[in-house]
Amino acid sequence: MREHDVLKKNKNFYIGVGGTVLEGLLSGSLFLLLYSVMQFLWAGQFDLNRVLMLTGAIAGIFLLRILIYSYGYTKAQIGGAEVSQNIRLFMGDHLKRIPLSRFTQGQTGDYINTITSDVNNYEKILTHKIGDLAKNFALSIMLIVFVMTIYVPAGLILLAADLLLIPGLWLSFRMVKKYGKEKNDICAENVSSIVEYVSGIQTFRAYGVGGLKNKTVISAMRDFCRISFVYEAKVLPVGAGLGILIWLSCPLVIWTAYAPWAAGAIDTVSYLLVCMLPLFCSKLANAIFVDLTSYKNLMISKGKILGVMDEPEESGSMEALRPATHEIIFDHVDFAYVPGEPVLKQASFTVPDQKLTAIVGDSGSGKSTILNLIAKYYEPAGGVISIGGKPINHVAAERVLEQVSMVDQDVFLFDDTIRDNIRHARPGASDAEIEAACREANCDGFIRRLEKGYDTPTGENGNLLSGGERQRLSIARAILKDSPILLLDEATASLDIENELAVKQAIANLLKAKKTVVMIAHTLSIVKNADQILVVADGTIKESGTHEELLAMNGKYAAMWNAEQKITV
């Protein structure tokens, strides 16, 4: 589905708007009946038959209005909900194709705000604002024409009062354009700050920076309060001033029509009605101003939606990647998260097929970046990355990830059962295959000790399990997926001794199969038996070789090894 099809208004929407307008015109027709009743009363011709006839007409119009309003309102709600559903489905599908480098904290707040608040705002436009505006415009025109049939100058005054909406809305739209976008941006930043605060509340409290001490969240909330006040302070005076001018049409019509009434050119009933209708017309004009100002503000949300929809997706061929071998080659690869601050500079190395390659180096040297580039979570700024001799620069990330299993130090689990969390690695896997993978991952034992076994919920992001248990479930997923390339990112970091031993045994079982393995480890003793060790420093591969070869070089690796040995003694 293309962008313009997603935002395209549907049949239900147009039926809803039509029903709302028709209901509004029927409500206006009651003034015609009122005029007739007043004429009969003034002429002394009001009898029981006319009472019954007019009462029946009013009851019929009222019943018809209820039916039309109910049908139109329901259709408008359905039509608007269909559009917002299409938008959410499109954006959900689109977001999974946006490069991961776009998902910074601030940008994530924008995405969350757009998918939730902005889509809701756009739905309000479709379900309420457009229908109300069309109804009020039609009813205003109807009443002005009706007044003109009675006394033309009074109708012209009402028309002039409505035309004052043009300069008033021009000023209002300028304020909305200037402050509305700023309000929307600050709201997105506020969402980002709150998401970060809620996610890290445990850490904040542990270090005594929760509540009022969290300056980032408080500052974001103050900014939002400030811009909300400024926005109202700039728009409200325009509406108030316009309202005063529009309501002046009431005494002006009374004064203008008085002379013709006194001279007998206008009958008393017509004069009374002409004096009454400006009150209703002024109320309609104020409603149009408020709704159009709100409409303009809500249209900022449409712009945000289109902005996300227009974000470029990851490019690349969707043809299956089936190399005969799975060696990985980096050929002069450059990468930077922030322009001008390179993480990798002309990095070149080869990961042999079906061998274990370990990557070591200082924190922030680019180790995890290498894994992310292999998995195509990020795109290199320069150079070529190949798998089995086939460059992956122009291959879709989904096709590359079919060849890769990853075990990260930060394990993400869905709020689901243990069984279904593991099954995500291979949706068609049987229960027996899942349990076999868990035995290999050294987690079958603790799972069976749980009250519901494999049907035990893991909680939100696995919060009902320990770090070591989550890590072993992650390894079980990698075993079940059984991809030819395995990426391990400090899988034993931040674990206690008991869990570290259990996870190391699980990794040992995982490494039994012949796979191309790239492992990042913070402890050199874990990787000393690797087929190849790469030492990363300053964005380049400083040294490479086996453990013995690197020690013989007496370079950075040897210094790291010696330092580790002193710590463990």
- Residue 342 falls inside a structural domain: yes
Is the predicted pLDDT of residue 1 greater than 60, yes or no?
no
According to the model, what pLDDT value does residue 114 have?
82
**Nearest alpha-carbon partner for 285 in 236, 319, 239, 324:** 239
Q: What is the pLDDT of residues 56-69, one digit of tens each?
A: 888 888 898 889 88
396 vs 431, higher pLDDT: 431
Q: How confident is the model at residue 274 (pLDDT cuts 50, 70, 90)?
A: confident
CA distances from 557 to 270, 543, 551 (A): 100, 8, 7
Is the predicted pLDDT of residue 336 greater than 80, yes or no?
yes
Claim to verify: residue 107 and residue 180 sit in the same structural domain: yes
Claim to verify: residue 288 and residue 388 sit in the same structural domain: no
Claim to verify: residue 156 and residue 301 sit in the same structural domain: yes
410 contacts 465 by C-beta, under 8 angstroms:
no
According to the model, what pLDDT value does residue 331 have?
92
Domain housing 26: 3-309
- Residue 333 falls inside a structural domain: yes
471 contacts 503 by C-beta, under 8 angstroms:
yes
- Residue 478 falls inside a structural domain: no
- Mean pLDDT value of segment 375-385: 88
According to the model, what pLDDT value does residue 46 have?
64
321 contacts 400 by C-beta, under 8 angstroms:
yes
- Antiparallel, parallel or unpaired: β 516-520 and 356-361: parallel
> By CB neighbour count within 10 A (0-12 exposed, 13-18 middle, 19+ buried), where does 207 fall?
exposed
Is the predicted pLDDT of residue 368 greater than 60, yes or no?
yes
Q: How confident is the model at residue 86 (pLDDT cuts 50, 70, 90)?
A: confident
76 contacts 127 by C-beta, under 8 angstroms:
yes
How many CA within 13 A on the CB side of residue 284? Answer: 28
288 vs 468, higher pLDDT: 288
243 vs 206, higher pLDDT: 243
Q: Last residue of a domain, which of 287, 309, 331?
A: 309
Distance CA 328, CA 366 (A): 17
- The β-bridge partners of 361 are 536
- Residue 44 falls inside a structural domain: yes
- The β-bridge partners of 518 are 357, 487
- Mean pLDDT value of segment 257-262: 89
Claim to verify: residue 368 and residue 241 sit in the same structural domain: no
Claim to verify: residue 27 and residue 151 sit in the same structural domain: yes
CATH number for position 329: 3.40.50.300
What is the share, in percent, of the chain residues with pLDDT greater than 90?
A: 10
Claim to verify: residue 273 and residue 353 sit in the same structural domain: no
- Residue 490 falls inside a structural domain: no
DSSP 83-127: HHHHHHHHHHHHHTTS-GGG--HHHHHHHHHIIIIIHHHHHHIII
According to the model, what pLDDT value does residue 2 have?
58
According to the model, what pLDDT value does residue 455 have?
92
Phi-psi bin for 548: left (phi > 0), alpha (psi -120 to 50), beta?
A: alpha
Is the predicted pLDDT of residue 330 greater than 90, yes or no?
yes
- Residue 482 falls inside a structural domain: no
Claim to verify: residue 292 and residue 163 sit in the same structural domain: yes
Q: What is the pLDDT of residues 111-164, one digit of tens each?
A: 877 888 888 888 888 888 888 888 888 889 988 998 898 889 999 999 999 999
Q: Is the pTM of this model over 0.75?
A: no
Rg (CA), the chain: 35
- Residue 485 falls inside a structural domain: no
Is the predicted pLDDT of residue 324 greater than 60, yes or no?
yes
Claim to verify: residue 235 and residue 93 sit in the same structural domain: yes
Distance CA 156, CA 144 (A): 8
Structure tokens at 193: 């700050």
**Nearest alpha-carbon partner for 171 in 296, 300, 284:** 296
CATH number for position 127: 1.20.1560.10
Q: Last residue of a domain, which of 263, 285, 309?
A: 309
- Mean pLDDT value of segment 242-266: 89
Is the predicted pLDDT of residue 495 greater than 70, yes or no?
no
Write down the mean pLDDT value for the chain.
Answer: 82
- Residue 161 falls inside a structural domain: yes
Contacts (Cβ under 8 Å, ≥6 apart) of 425: 405, 477, 478, 480, 481
Q: How confident is the model at residue 384 (pLDDT cuts 50, 70, 90)?
A: very high
**Nearest alpha-carbon partner for 321 in 425, 406, 397:** 397
In this structure, the number of other CB atoms found within 10 A of the CB of residue 85 comes to 13
Structure tokens at 395: 């291959």
Query: What's the per-residue H, E or C state across 253-318?
Result: HHHHHHHHHHCCCCCHHHHHHHHHHHHHHHHHHHHHHHHHHHHHHHHHHHHHHHHHHCCCCCCCEC
Claim to verify: residue 335 and residue 289 sit in the same structural domain: no
- Number of compact structural domains in the chain: 2
Claim to verify: residue 254 and residue 360 sit in the same structural domain: no
Claim to verify: residue 22 and residue 124 sit in the same structural domain: yes
CA angle 188/191/192 to nearest 5° reads 90
Residue entry with tokens 């005054």: 157
496 vs 70, higher pLDDT: 70
**Nearest alpha-carbon partner for 347 in 541, 217, 491:** 541
Q: Last residue of a domain, which of 309, 330, 365?
A: 309
180 contacts 297 by C-beta, under 8 angstroms:
yes
Distance CA 451, CA 466 (A): 16
Claim to verify: residue 136 and residue 206 sit in the same structural domain: yes
